[in-house]
A and B are shown apart, each in its own frame.
Chain A
Amino acid sequence: MRRLAFSLLVLVLFAMPAAAKDTVVVYTALEPEQITDYMKAVNKTLPNLDVKMLRLSTGDISARFMAEKDNMQADVVWGVAATNMLVFKNAGLLEAYAPKGLERVQPLFRDKANPPAWVGIDIYMSAFCFNTEIAKKKNLPKPASWADLTKPVYKNEVVMPNPNSSGTGYLSVASILQRMKEPGGWKYLDALDKNMAEYTKSGSKPCKDAAAGERAIGVSFEYVAMKMKKDGAPVEMVLPKEGSGYEMEANALTRKAKNNAAAKAFLDWAISDEAMRLYSKYFAAVSVAGFPVPEGLPKDISKVVYPNDFDWSAKNRDRILAEWQKRYQK
């Protein structure tokens, strides 16, 4: 009897949602350290929101969101790759919503439909981290391009993220395939695989591994490279000369949250000036014009990136990932 009473008590205590505040369940792929920064502002500006957040790598959070479609948990998807947003939209998982201040967002950064299914917030791009200390010890030249990474001298010295789980991984692979076209692109990736020590789950880990000296070269994205350097790690950032791959991160309302005012309030905040000012500390470009670029990053990213065909990236995502797994996942 006691046992029953107790388990009932446990269930009741924890199955009950917190009632006092408006709860918003947010799924995000933004970097954890940025989220801390953003959430401080959210809690101050929107004190009535109880934000419950799940943060996973782009691929993982997308897979989870898709898998829960019949018992949807998320109200808001925040800072997830536009490529994945296109997939969600086609699967009917999103609810079109025009957040307040949408007119400020540059046209390139939003879903063309009106009201839009998703609204972009930032752009980030692939960048290499190169550990100069290890380089000196092992006599490794500094790589300047994607092509350099396949040189035999870097055997087992390169790490990159797994495109299945990581947005950074997928944008790099998609960009290579778009630039070199399919048979050629795969041939390049085969050669790259020979030098690869490991495929990591997250997009920031390769650079952090390079910063720790565990690997000589990590393929990550620009912000984490700058951050590691600023923190005192012996790393240099390399933007490959063929052009970096890039991706846009966007927000959306989910089908579940159609009538959730709190979720909409969160989305309004997520493109506000306050939010943009915070994003602009971390990204080479944000979706509203007029915010400064972080120190050490190129002022005009259009000069350093290879143009991305988002539709192509989204349409071919499943096929590319399947092919990638077949070739490199052992």
Chain B
Amino acid sequence: MPAIGPVEAARIPTPVVRHRLDGERVLRGALLTGFALFLWLFVGYPLLQVLWRSLLDNEGQFIGVANYVRYVRTPAIAASITNSLWVSTAAMVLTVTLAFVYAYALTRTRMPWRGFFRVVAMLPIFAPSLVHGIAFVYVFGNNGILTRQTGLNVGIYGAKGIIFAETFYCFPHALLILVAALSAADARLYDAAAALGASRLRTFLTVTLPGVKYGLMSACFVVFTLVITDFGIPKVIGGKMSVMATEIYNQVIGQQNFTMGATVSVVLLIPAAIAFAVDRLVQRRQYSLVTSAAQPLAPGRSRLARALLFVYCATIAAAIVGVYGVIGVTSLVARWPYSFAFTLKHYRFDTIGGYTPLLNSLEVAALTAVAGTVLAFVGAYLVEKCRTIASGPLYVASILPVAIPGMVLGLAYIFTFNAPGSPLNRLYGTLALLVLSNLVHYFTVPFLTATTSLRQMDAEFESVGASMGVPFWKTFWRVTVPIALPSIVGIGMYFFLNAMVTLSAAVFLVAPGTELAAVAVLLMDDAGDTAQAAAMSVLIIGSGLLVRLGFWWLLRGITRRTQAWTATPSEG
């Protein structure tokens, strides 16, 4: 090799650096393309399929909005819209009211057992929605235990049953939001109110409520969306009342009338989409509420209020524990309510082929947790840290899934993955498709969690890494991931728990060999094998709780090892 002159020496390293940068750019581009392709293939394209199919007749001829006209003009079917709106609104008001007082007691008093009450209130998250309907039938049904004891029949089948069971099911979702909202309070406002001589009621109306109005609105939208898109509870306890979600189920599963299913789906997308849009607007404003000068609020000291709220929380907690107790007991006795002899026969599941559905569910949930966490975190990283023109659209596409009801997604996947001649058909009837549908259905919350956690990290890490010539994936692996590990673990758990209990998309996608536990609960209840349905519910709840405990234990270890840097001087 000839000697290199000074000029060349200065020029030579440049191509080397450029070369490595190019490699990074190619990889980054490939990842971005992959992510975009995923969102298109599993979110955008299937949704368009649903929209398109609602404009066709059953023979595939374009007929415009004729399906919608027929839908609205059939009085019986149109009634499902009114029914849906009415039960969703009622359940929303009831849930948010109950959860608000509960959250208030948890955050604004020094009531004893607060930790216990908080944990108990989370229980409904571990069960498929319809479990609450089954429990209500066991207690308040025509031959429910309470009806038998008191002789008073509340007439649980119909709107009443749907509203109450949905309230149980949605309670933790509303509570989480309201606890967060009520935790952020500025004591200075309360001091000012007291100094101005405002009464308690006035303080509550002019300080407390306005302070949490965004949280309240958020809770309302979340509950409304959950109720209007849930079909498990109306199916079990709705009696003759049909709502939009059960209507889709009947049209598709019962009659394979995909056109009408698509039409109802699109109609069902409207309230969910409005709730989603308003919620986004609300969240955007919420950030400025608590300023850096805010003082933390000291919980009130009134003994009477504390005692009343304690009784209130104890009642609700007892009711929630009661629901789970009833499910547990019915799964263990020979014939509720005629014979309370202890038996394990309902746990044999001989009518559904034993434990295969439960094992399938665990497999799907575990795969969803792993694949979902990777996808959500890498996706958030690509959108957040690799700023390109694609960032905006990708962000929107990533938060869109939350507005898609599970059943609509399931239907969309049938259209996409069971189309004649399509190469995507290989996925139809596989566990992989179930994993993918869970991934998409529950993508938004983990994506936003990951985004938030990435935003909290200084962009300096990337710049320093880049200036030291470290490729971005190394920075990602060595710095970003360890710092964000607690939220990564949380994301995994969120995916896992939801995949265990989800019914809505799965019910359209299960095939021979891919039965799932939550769907088995539905089918067993359909067939009248309620005790076995209860037994399967117990196992779903049990495995969820076990995994939750495992995660908690894991998280403690991880926090100790990777989060030492967050410790405040007083602790360290």
Contact = CB atoms under 8 A, between A and B. Distances in A.
Given A68-B418, A205-B528, A232-B335, A198 B512 contact: no
Nearest to A50: B513
Given A214-B141, A330-B76, A15 B425 contact: no
Nearest to A213: B143
Contacts of B13: none
B430 A14 contact: yes
A1 B425 contact: no
A87 B420 CA distance: 22
Given A11-B427, A208-B527, A215-B142, A54 B512 contact: yes
Contacts of B530: 208, 212
A329 B429 contact: no
Contacts of A15: 426-427, 430, 432
A11 B424 CA distance: 11
Contacts of B338: 133, 213, 232-234
B569 interface: no
A52 B420 contact: no
A330 B79 contact: yes
Contacts of B426: 15
B353 interface: yes
A207 interface: yes
A1 B27 contact: yes
A33 B157 contact: no
B255 A198 contact: no
Contact of B425 (A3, A71, A204): A71
Contacts of B429: 73
A330 B258 CA distance: 19
A70 B76 contact: no
B512 A52 contact: yes
Given A71-B418, A212-B530, A231-B335, A2 B374 contact: yes
A4 B34 contact: yes
Contacts of B564: none
A191 interface: no
Interface in A196-248: 196-202, 204-209, 211-215, 231-234
Contact of A63 (B141, B256, B370, B430): B256
B76 A71 contact: no
Given A3-B375, A4-B34, A330-B79, A70 B420 contact: yes
Contacts of B14: none
Contact of B512 (A53, A63, A200, A211): A53
B256 A3 contact: no
B529 A197 contact: no
Interface string B425-444: 11111111001000000000
A35 B351 contact: yes
Given A60-B253, A63-B254, A329 B431 contact: no
A330 B431 contact: no
Contacts of B430: 14-15
Contacts of B350: 33, 36
Interface in A18-38: 25-27, 31-33, 35-36
A329 B239 contact: no
A198 B239 contact: yes
Interface string B30-72: 1100100010000000000000000000000000000000000
A7 interface: yes
A125 interface: no
B143 A205 contact: no
Contact of A205 (B255, B431, B527): B527
Given A52-B513, A232-B335, A1 B31 contact: yes
Interface centre among B76, B137, B473 (most CB of A within 10 A): B76
Interface string B481-514: 0000000000000000000000000000001110
B337 interface: yes
B84 interface: no
A10 B378 contact: no
A73 B432 contact: no
A330 B240 contact: yes
A234 B431 CA distance: 42
Interface residues of B, number: 60
B527 A71 contact: no
Interface string B287-324: 00000000000000000000000000000000000000
B527 A204 contact: yes
A3 B337 contact: no
A15 B429 CA distance: 9
A153 interface: no
A206 to B, nearest CB: 8
Nearest to B515: A54
A207 B529 CA distance: 11
Contacts of A100: none
A67 B256 contact: yes
Contact of A202 (B34, B256, B339, B527): B527
B403 interface: no
A26 B34 contact: no
A127 B58 CA distance: 36
Interface centre among A39, A71, A233 (most CB of B within 10 A): A71
Interface string B519-560: 000010011111000000000000000000000000000000
B409 interface: no
B431 A14 contact: yes
B445 to A, nearest CB: 19
A164 B143 contact: no
A143 interface: no
A293 to B, nearest CB: 24
Contact of A232 (B242, B337, B339, B528): B339
B157 A208 contact: no
A270 B118 CA distance: 55
B352 interface: yes
Nearest to A208: B528
Contacts of B254: 59-60, 63, 162, 164-165, 201
A4 B254 CA distance: 37
Contacts of A25: 512
Contacts of A231: 335
A160 B65 CA distance: 35
B137 A214 contact: yes
Interface in B368-427: 370-371, 374-375, 378, 418-420, 425-427
B513 A134 contact: no
Contacts of B86: none
B355 interface: no
A165 B251 CA distance: 11
B346 to A, nearest CB: 12
B121 interface: no
Interface of A: 1-4, 6-7, 10-11, 13-15, 25-27, 31-33, 35-36, 39, 52-57, 59-60, 63-64, 66-68, 70-71, 73, 133-134, 162, 164-165, 196-202, 204-209, 211-215, 231-234, 325-326, 329-330
Given A215-B142, A325-B76, 12 more contacts: A1-B31, A2-B374, A11-B427, A13-B432, A14-B432, A36-B351, A53-B512, A66-B256, A67-B258, A71-B419, A329-B250, A330-B241
10 contacts: A10-B371, A36-B350, A36-B351, A64-B256, A67-B256, A71-B420, A164-B254, A197-B240, A211-B335, A212-B530
**Nearest 3 Cβ contacts at the A-B interface:** A208-B528, A213-B143, A32-B351
